[in-house]
Amino acid sequence: MKTKCIGVRSVTYAQKAQEVLKKYGIRGFVRKRTDSSSSGSGWCIEVPSLQSETARNLLKNNGVSVTGEIYDLPG
Q: What is the pLDDT of residue 39?
A: 56
The residue among 61 and 1 whose pLDDT is bigger is: 61
Q: What is the sign of the dihedral through the CA atoms of 44, 75, 55 and 52?
A: positive
Q: What is the mean pLDDT of residues 17-38?
A: 86
Rounded CA gap, 47 and 45, in Å? 6
Q: In the predicted model, is pLDDT for residue 37 greater than 60? A: no
Q: Is the Cβ–Cβ distance between 47 and 3 less than 8 Å? A: yes
